[in-house]
Amino acid sequence: MEKMQKKLGFGFMRLPMKDGQADIPQTCDMVDLFLRRGFNYFDTARGYLDGKAETLIRTCLTSRHPRESYLLTDKLSGNYFKTEADIRPLFESQLTDCGVEYFDFYLMHSQCRENYDHYQQCHAYETAFALKAEGKIRHVGISFHDTADFLDQILTEHPEIEIVQLQFNYLDYEDPAIQSRLCYEVCRKHGKPVLVMEPVKGGRLTQLPEKARKILDELHGGSNASYAIRFAAGFEGIKMVLSGMSSIEQLRDNTDYMTDFKPLDDRERKALSEVCRVFRGMHLIPCTACRYCEAGCPRKIHIPDLFAVLNARQIYSDWNGEFYYDVHTRNGGKASDCIKCGQCENICPQHLHIRELLEQVAEIYDKKAE
Ligand code: SF4
Ligand code: SF4
């Protein structure tokens, strides 16, 4: 497998923004610094950044640096093909948009019970391996969001899969729904190397509730993100931890502690267990703000933002929730506008009961507005 120079990858999913668009000069600076510091792994997908992530990869990375200086991962997302015949043209357009002739890794995106049959019926795995044989993909893998027994099923049915991308972070490690540990153990059983996504759980492990922040502050001064990323990177067989960095400061911090990576020591691990206890006591909605659910919502509800409002209410009891609820519903539906079509739940990688949760949001914020 190609040389992944260090265990930190740059996810083109949450870039720095300016006036509602990705900040290209800052992203170019980040890419340059990342490479200069000896890191070389980049990850993207067609749907990221409102469908602009692949062309941003071309603008900021591939048109500016030699092909051998980086590794690039892209994904086959289920909502961009209807039939087997759609896959090759889609793939070719991804190569063109990214400005490359091959991908180092190509993943069947977000595999779960809801979409696996679609990939099977369209012979997506077979097509990806045919593209590999043609030299257009170096390695084929999956990214995965479901239970460990289903991962076991996929890896048994497709032993040719070379690598697995998992949601893996200290809060989800023992979570009964996400099953990070159990999924990781399935990968180990099947001898598959692991790529990590969501190591900071969509930013939730960087913006800690005060009680949790105090626990980490008592360590040696590392950033909240540093403990989360080092937690994930410390496991055997984990090849890469992705970070969706959205400022050059974040990139500097991440590359500082990952240049000479050291796994967590006992004291740090114990502190993270205490942070988990704080989170569990708060009963927060485990939304990672991936925004997969938003595109198909017929009522244009900004679902993750409304969940963030409710979570913030839990974390900061005196917080100005009504104001922010108003901000997030100005250009989108209210929670009570939900018609319960269920589209969002079919696509949510966290398997959230979005309709029920929106009822809770509506109960608090729409009632007050009446
Ligand atoms: S169930 Fe509600 S929130 Fe989900 S897609 Fe349908 S209208 Fe939107
Ligand atoms: S509700 Fe689910 S799909 Fe929507 S942003 Fe949150 S985690 Fe992603």
CA 136, chain centre distance (Å): 24
pLDDT grade for 197, boundaries at 50, 70 and 90:
very high
Chain segment 129-177, per-residue pLDDT in tens: 999 999 999 999 999 998 899 999 999 999 999 999 999 999 989 887 7
Distance 145 CA to ligand 2 centre (A): 12
Query: In angstroms, rounded to a whole number, what is the distance separating the alpha carbons of residues 315 and 296?
Result: 29
Q: Of all protein residues, whose CA lies closest to atom 4 belonging to ligand 2?
A: 293
Decide if pLDDT at 369 tops 70.
Answer: no
Distance 367 CA to ligand 2 centre (A): 24
Report which protein residue has its CA nearest ligand 1's atom 5.
297
Ligand 1 center from residue 261 Cα (angstroms): 42
pLDDT, residue 315, reads: 77
For ligand 2, say whether the CB of 167 is within 6 Å of any of its atoms: no
pLDDT of residue 255: 98
Average pLDDT over residues 12-33: 94
Q: Which ligand is nearest to the CA of 201?
A: 2
Burial 50-64 (b: 16+ CB within 10 A, else e): eebbbbbbebbbbee
Which among 63, 134, 65, 124 is positioned nearest to 103, based on CA atoms? 134
Over residues 206-221, the mean pLDDT reads: 92
C-beta 110 within 6 A of ligand 2? no
Per-residue model confidence (pLDDT) at position 114: 86
Atom of ligand 2 nearest to the CA of 347: 3
Highest mean pLDDT among 14-18, 81-85, 307-311: 81-85
- The closest residue, in CA terms, to atom 8 on ligand 1 is 297
Q: What is the mean pLDDT of residues 177-200?
A: 95
Residue 339 CB less than 6 A away from ligand 1: yes
Name the helix (H) or strand (E) containing 273.
helix 266-282
Instruction: Please spell the DSSP secondary structure of 184-232, one letter per residue.
Output: HHHHHHTT--EEEE-TTGGGTTTS--HHHHHHHHTTTS--HHHHHHHHH
Q: With contact defined as beta carbons under 8 Å apart, do 253 and 225 qualify?
A: yes
Mutate to test the pocket of ligand 2, among 146, 288, 311 (most ligand atoms within 8 A of CB): 288
What pLDDT score does 318 carry? 53
Mean pLDDT estimate for the chain? 93
- Pocket perturbation via mutation, ligand 1, pick of 291, 292, 354, 366 by most ligand atoms within 8 A of CB: 354
pLDDT recorded at residue 282: 86
Residue 243's pLDDT band (cuts 50, 70, 90)? very high
pLDDT of residue 312: 80
Residue 297 beta carbon below 6 angstroms from any ligand 1 atom:
yes
Say yes or no: CB of residue 213 within 6 Å of ligand 1: no
How much is the CA Rg of the chain, to the nearest whole Å?
A: 20
Q: How far is the CA of 253 from the centre of ligand 2 (A)?
A: 27
236 burial via Cβ count (<10 Å: 0-12, 13-18, 19+) = exposed
What tens digit of pLDDT does each residue of 106-124 get?
999 999 988 999 999 999 9
Banded model confidence at residue 320, pLDDT cuts 50, 70, 90 = confident
Q: Is the pLDDT of residue 321 over 90?
A: no
Q: What percent of the chain has a predicted confidence (pLDDT) above 70? A: 98
Q: How far is the CA of 280 from the centre of ligand 1 (A)?
A: 27
Q: What is the pLDDT of residue 207?
A: 87
**Other CB atoms within 10 A of residue 254 CB:** 23
Q: How confident is the model at residue 323 (pLDDT cuts 50, 70, 90)?
A: confident
Residues in the chain: 370
Q: How far apart are CA 299 and CA 313, in angstroms?
A: 24
262-302 pLDDT, tens digit per residue, is 999 999 999 999 999 998 888 889 898 888 999 899 999 99
pLDDT higher than 60, residue 370: no
Closest residue by CA, ligand 1 atom 6: 341
Q: Is the CB of 327 under 6 A from ligand 1?
A: no
